[in-house]
Structure 1
Amino acid sequence: MATRGTHLGIVVGVDGSPGSAIAVQWAAYDAALRDVPLTLAHAARTRSQRERGLQVLDQALRTVSARVRVRCEMPCATPVFALADLSEHAELVVVGCPGGGAPGECQFCSVSSTLIHHAHCPVVVIHDDVQLSPETLAAPVLVGIDASSEAGSLMEIAFEEASARGVGLVALHTCEACNGLDETSPALAGWTDRYPDVTVHQVAALTDPVQQLVDHAEKAQLVVVDTQGNGGFAAMLFGPGVAGTVTHVPIIVARASPARAGS
């Protein structure tokens, strides 16, 4: 995914909360898998905030494996502006939320609901219900595909994450996107050739696609959705009545871009 200057690798927002701690743990694991740097970021605009920020960053730093390359950033900005700015040089931005909470219930949940529309890279939303157990890490990656999801960024991150983890990929299509699943979906065309190590299982969501996504997420270690399209899975997942339903699994929200599987 390193198509821009991505020297910051994986950026994770750190605020000292339990959700933030889980986010750091997941981000460090992903950075090790990808062999990319990890950037711990804490936004601070006042002297007292910076003093606390140093403690928060130091505490987070102590939890990261020595085999992961780590750097710390303390931008003088609000969390949204800080992470959006850092995202321009990142492969992923990771933010934590309290388990069972909807966006808006904590600083980083309110950040995530805004950041997914303004970041320059995919955003990972992680609740503190997430566990990195061997059983969880053996589960497949789940990608939600609607009628407009023929997008390079969405497919690339889904296949790359599945390949890096050595697991399969479940592709959940909305009814409009499937058109029958006897053959490989146009959204997946080229990607199965590029990632021959990833076994793909296609599923058609014939009714209530969001509930289908929630149900399939129960057996996944990671969910990948995009922000684009006719109501897109991301908009539905973070919408009224649904937000906070999927809390046990990280959700990667990617912005749509032209497909480039053959590149």
Structure 2
Amino acid sequence: MVTVSDLPIIVGVDGSEPSLWAVDWAADEAALRGVPLRLVYARLWERYEGTSLAQDLTRQNGEVTAEDVIETAAQRARLRAPDVKISTAVLPEEPEYSLVHESRSAAAVVLGSRGRSSMAEALLGSVSVTVAGHAHCPVIVLRGSHDNQARAGRRGRIAVGVGEKPAHSAAVRFALDEARLRHVPLDAVRAWRTPAHENTDHPLMAGEPARLHEEQAAEELEEALREAPDDVEVRRRSVEGPARRALLDASAGADLLVVGAQRRSGHFGLQLGRVAHGVLHHAACPVAVVPEEA
């Protein structure tokens, strides 16, 4: 019987520098969790990502095969995490399909935020967005500095966005696990706003709607963190304003930002939500998108 500890970290490899930095990050994560690492290359990736290859893959004759890409990534992972069990796969499938399929039996999927196309600097790669929107496990997309290189945590904290349904949140559980494994504090952020129709000019009611919404946000934070383990330091923050802005601000001081994404049964469109979509494009650190059941 397969247990959670047997599930691998999956990393998508396409031969680009960002995908090799994702290999570094995934190898560190696998070592941290004590789980295997599985490197996946989809043969049809070139159709989406162009031809810009990592320096590691320079060949005198200019020919680079899928096997070259995956073996270079595997060698890099072995150097990074020599104690981690590593497997590889070259799949004759669309990259989005193969990675979403792989996510059914994975602890997490790790991807670079940019692929091998010239447009990727401005827009998050279509593969990363699609996989984050449909995967069956958490998807970690490297965001942050312009080089996106995997580094040991420098800020010493994890941040998580607490949504409108805080009870039994998969995103909060994932963030608590990450904070515990890394021995760092967790910043739990709940954004709130006072609806315009609740504003009043009556002097006896001044500030009352805002106070009630702030109190509700604080209660939702407590509900989300009710089962937080004693060995994790949790910092609760309720922030007035749009959730996207609050989480982007939190990402500036975090090593990982965790957000939830609702999964609606029978719905085939993109299921990221506006907040998750926004932070994937603009966060200042890697982002973990965790599926939440509707």
Judge same fold: TM > 0.5, yes or no: yes
Deviation at residue 24 of structure 1 after TM alignment: 0.6
Q: Helix, strand or coil for the counterpart of 1:255? A: strand
Are residues 199 and 22 of structure 1, via their aligned partners in 2, closer, same or farther at CA, if it must alter by over 3 Å?
Answer: same
Q: CA deviation at 1:131?
A: 4.3
- Give matches, 1:92-131, under 5 Å: 92-98=108-114, 101-103=122-124, 109-127=125-143, 129-131=147-149
Instruction: Measure the CA separation in 1 of the matches of 2:2 and 2:71.
Output: 31
Contact 1:92 1:123 in 2 (8 A): yes
What is the TM-score normalised by the length of structure 1?
0.81
Q: Does the 8 Å CA contact 2:7/2:36 hold for their aligned counterparts?
A: yes
1:73 to 86, 89, 93: 89
> Which of 233, 249, 261 is the matching residue for 1:215?
249
Choose the corresponding residue for 1:160, options 177, 182, 192. Answer: 177
Residue 33 of structure 2 corresponds to residue 34 of structure 1: yes
Q: Which runs of 4+ in 1 moved over 3 A?
A: 2-8, 127-134
Paired position in structure 1 for 2:164: 147
Structure 1 CA distance for aligned equivalents of residues 142 and 251 of structure 2? 13
User: Could you say what secondary structure the match of 2:76 adopts?
Assistant: coil
Indicate the SS of the match to 1:181: helix
Amino acid at match of 2:246: Q
* 2:66 aligned residue (48, 53, 58): 53
Question: What is the rounded CA distance, in whole Å, between the counterparts of 1:10 and 1:163 in structure 2?
Answer: 18
CA distance in 1, matches of 2:181, 2:92: 34
- Which residue of 1 is the match for residue 258 of structure 2? 224
Number of equivalenced pairs: 239
Q: What percent of counterpart residues are identical?
A: 30
Q: Cα deviation per residue 1:139-164 (whole Å; 9 max; x = unaligned)?
A: 21000112124344212210001100
Q: Name the aligned partner's letter for residue 156 of structure 1.
A: R
1:244 paired residue number: 281
Q: What CA distance in whole angstroms lies between the structure 2 residues aligned with 1:226 and 1:125?
A: 14
Q: Give the Cα separation in 2 of the matches to 1:150 and 1:130.
A: 33
Quick one: structure 1 residues 55 and 142, their matched pair in 2 at CA, closer, same or farther if it must change by over 3 Å? same
Q: Distance in 2 between matches of 1:185 and 1:151?
A: 12
Q: Which runs of 5+ in 1 are unaligned?
A: 104-108, 259-263
CA separation of 1:39 and 1:233: change in aligned 2, threshold 3 A: closer
> Aligned pair in 2 of structure 1 residues 149, 92: CA closer, same or farther (>3 Å)?
same
Instruction: Considering fraction of residues, name the structure with more helix.
Output: 2
TM-score (norm 2): 0.73
Residue 66 and residue 234 in structure 1: after superposition, are their counterparts in 2 closer, same or farther (change >3 A)? farther
Q: Which runs of 5+ in 2 are unaligned?
A: 46-63, 115-119, 194-212, 264-270
Deviation, structure 1 residue 118: 1.8
State the 1:170 CA deviation: 0.3
Is the contact between residue 90 and residue 121 of structure 1 (CA under 8 Å) also seen in structure 2?
yes
Amino acid in structure 1 at the alignment position of 2:289 = V
Structure ID, larger Rg: 2
Question: SS where residue 60 of structure 1 aligns?
Answer: helix
Match of 2:226 among 177, 189, 195: 189
Amino acid at match of 1:221: D
Alpha-carbon RMSD across the aligned residues, in angstroms, is 2.9
Match of 1:91 among 89, 92, 107: 107
